[in-house]
Structure formats: C-alpha cells, structure tokens
Structure 1
Amino acid sequence: VEDPRQAIPMKMIGHVTSSYWSQNCGRSIALALVAGGRARTGDTLYVPMPGGTIEVEVSDMVFFDETRGRLNG
C-alpha cells in the first residue's frame, strides 16, 4: 500500500509473491508484483502484516552485484 494509515479495506497496489532471508544481503528480500512496476524503483511502500506494517523500498531487479563481477569472476 502507499499509505499505511488508510482505513481498512486498504487500497492494494501489489502483491508479494515470495520472500526469503538473504544471507548475502543480511536481511529479508521479497519479490512482488506492483502497479507501475519499474517506474516505482526507489519508492517507499508499506506491507501490512498481522504484527504491524513493514516499510519496503522498491528496488531494481538486480540489486546485488550490479556490475556482475561475481558472475564474470
């Protein structure tokens, strides 16, 4: 959602399809389908969860090893 303070039912702008713990990044990462897709790179969005709301950043699809140094190492 764009505004975590909006009333329920919240206007959803996307859906998290999967999430994982990334040992390389030292944090959780997730894949999601978001309205506006790549044009939203850098935007802050919010994921409402039963225990509270999580602030997330829309990142580029390649956010680790952007220069592909490990691939071509």
Structure 2
Amino acid sequence: MTTQGRTLQEPTEIQVWDPFVRVAHWTIAIGFFIAYLAEDDLLTIHVWAGYVVGTLMLMRVVWGWCMLQMVCDARNGHR
C-alpha cells in the first residue's frame, strides 16, 4: 500500500500471551465455574475443581516468575 510515495506496512499480529497462559486462564475460569455450580450437591467434583484451580494458579505464578527472569536476562545480554 502506498500513499504519496511512502510505503505503509500492514500491521503484523503481536502475540501478547503465550499458549500456556491462555490455556491456564481458561482452565482456571472453567474450573472456578464448575466448582461454583457443584458447591453442595457434588462435593467430590467441587473439591477436585478447587485442586485444579489452585494447582494452575501456582503454576501460573511460577511460569510468570520464570518468564520475568528470562526477559531480565535477555535485556542484560545473558543467554
């Protein structure tokens, strides 16, 4: 695409969140919803949904810390 002699580039897609974060987010949301719906009637499902949500939240915190370390190392020239 050109405008008055200048070339305009089409915007490229920038991925903000990696696949693990996306899957973890939606799994946490679904697990919370399942735990909410299975509150009293299906106590075993409620408990296991809580375990899944808690485990994924812990994994997400660890993942975020690891990614932060990688970004800091990359900015400081470490590989």
TM > 0.5 fold call: no
Tell me which protein shows more helix as a share of its residues.
2
Tell me the TM-score normalised to structure 1 length.
Answer: 0.26
> Greater relative contact order: 1 or 2 (C-alpha under 8 angstroms, separation 6 or more)?
1
Structure whose CA Rg is larger: 2
Name whichever structure is richer in strand by fraction: 1
